[in-house]
Amino acid sequence: MTTALRRLRNYIDGEFRDAADGRTTEVVNPATGEAYATAPLSGAADVDAAMAAAEAAFPAWRDLIPAERQKVLLKVADRFEERAEELIAAESENCGKPIALVRSEEIPPMVDQIRFFAGAARMLEGRSAGEYMDGFTSIIRREPVGVCAQVAPWNYPMMMAVWKFAPALAAGNTVVIKPSDTTPASTVLIADIIGSVLDELGHSRGVFNVICGDRETGRLMVEHKVPAMASITGSVRAGMQVAESASKDLKRVHLELGGKAPVVVFEDTDIAKAVEDISVAGYFNAGQDCTAATRVLVHESIHDEFVAALAKAASETKTGAVDDEDVLYGPLNNANQLKQVKGFIERLPAHAKIEAGGEQVGEKGYFFAPTVVSGLKQDDEIVQHEVFGPVITVQSFSDEKQAVQWANGVEYALASSVWTKDHARAMRMSRSLDFGCVWINTHIPLVAEMPHGGFKKSGYGKDLSSYGFDDYTRIKHVMTSLDG
């Protein structure tokens, strides 16, 4: 006897719909490795319908005074709190995440972020009007860009959806968003929440649309003639493909891609405190975080002591079932990701040493043990490329110059951290590290008021903060004659 799979559907112009051609794909719970739902495998007809709905809704949404858009987002935030347990259950099933951690670490910041952008809607800043030519006054207008095609990832599907729709809607844009094909459930639920709020307040439900599908669906969205902007959080490869597709009609592009965060630990660091914080920042969400603390560079004088402490912390870190409140993280998101992480471990060079973990755990699902690998060199594959799993690598450096060289010596440039009691050294390192974020004596905290985004192959554009809000606006110069 088989259990019937739940049916997820697209949300287009205020209606839940199957794919026009009826195609579906199975959605698997990574904690069990078993399918629990089906989702539409959307094609061109579905994308056309969603874009048409967003395009039709745009003029009225654009022309609302900011206070009205704020009212919508504040009510959406309230609904997130009211329906938190539904969101938690959907995300836990989506990703196999521990329920307690979704409740404590994801719901509160998401609500806060929505409320932040609700406030940002009323804080459009720009240069004051002025006369820069005799007889003329110049004014700067800030306007929404239009319809936004947005693609969210599978590591934080719910939170990354918030990072995308909240600034876009606050700025006056309309949205078509596609969740990952492996994690559509929470985004479909968000559509129900936002749609109900738009309906209650008398706005077109076409302001927010959700399309489920695969990479081809995303390509159709990005290449569609309607969107003025394409935004993606995902892999470097996916970002490059989006940039290439968007270039065909010069769409604006916003990319938050991979990371390989260096964690530079100097000899004056409190080792016990650093190990405690770094292990959490490296293993949280199974290391499936572009900012994860997974590439440690430690001064040679404390290397052995640090590695021993880190390996002990790894052995004490627990992964497991979603209802176990003692676990730090759940499974890897999908079978392919488990295969990728295993591959990095299997291909380790002879000079590398596995200090802890290094293997799959459990009889079902995609769980992988907290892992520490030492003895690595700068050009090793596992140092240069993003693992996106619960694997922390350790290298030993001799001086500050070498630490900076190795820290910057990768193609990614999203986040980094420095661990030292020397204030001057911390300031030098924060200047020298070529990353969009530098944490000092901490790693991974984010706040709505500060920007998140990288350089190099980590992409461009910012999430969160007023800078993230700016990315969803365009600048217009208006000049008027003073002669009449």
Residues 35 and 12 placed together within one structural domain of the fold: yes
Which residues participate in catalysis according to the annotation?
256, 290
Q: Which tokens is 328 given? A: 């730090």
Query: Do 139 and 130 meet the contact criterion of CB atoms below 8 Å apart?
Result: no
Domain containing residue 239: 6-257+458-477
Q: Provide the CATH number for the domain around residue 410.
A: 3.40.309.10
Domain shared by 311 and 402, yes or no: yes
- Compute CA distances 134 → 239, 475, 479, 484, whole Å: 46, 23, 12, 14
Domain membership flag for residue 191: yes
CB 255 within 8 A of CB 232: yes
Residue count (the chain)? 484
Q: How far apart are CA 164 and CA 170, in angstroms?
A: 10
pLDDT at position 3 is 67
Look at residue 1 in the predicted model and tell me its pLDDT. 43
Give the C-alpha distances (Å, rounded to integers) separating 298 from 116, 305, 316, 410, 445: 37, 10, 21, 17, 21
pTM: 0.96
Residues 171 and 26 in one domain: yes
**Number of structural domains the chain divides into:** 2
Q: Are residues 92 and 226 both part of a single domain?
A: yes
Same domain, 163 and 228: yes
Closest Cα to residue 327, out of 286, 387, 373? 286
181/292 same-domain check: no
Predicted confidence at residue 127, as pLDDT, reads 79
Provide the CATH number for the domain around residue 150. Answer: 3.40.605.10
For residue 158, the model assigns a pLDDT of 97
**pLDDT in 10s for each residue of the chain, 484 residues:** 456 899 999 999 999 999 999 999 999 999 999 999 999 999 999 999 999 999 999 999 999 999 999 999 999 999 999 999 999 999 999 999 999 999 999 999 999 999 999 999 998 877 789 999 999 999 999 999 999 999 999 999 999 999 999 999 999 999 999 999 999 999 999 999 999 999 999 999 999 999 999 999 999 999 999 999 999 999 999 999 999 999 999 999 999 999 999 999 999 999 999 999 999 999 999 999 999 999 999 999 999 999 999 999 999 999 999 999 999 999 999 999 999 999 999 999 999 999 999 999 998 999 999 999 999 999 999 999 999 999 999 999 999 999 999 999 999 999 999 999 999 999 999 999 999 999 999 999 999 999 999 999 999 999 999 999 999 999 999 999 999 7
Domain membership flag for residue 453: no
> In 3D, which of 387, 389, 303, 391 has the Cα closest to residue 354?
391
**Token code pair at residue 368:** 């992988």
Q: Where are the beta strands (DSSP E) in 249-368?
A: 252-256, 262-265, 295-299, 353-356, 360-361, 367-368
In a domain, 178, yes or no: yes
Same domain, 290 and 431: yes
Q: Residues near 5 by Cβ (< 8 Å), separated by ≥ 6?
A: 26, 35, 36, 37, 38
Whether residue 172 sits in one domain with residue 297: no
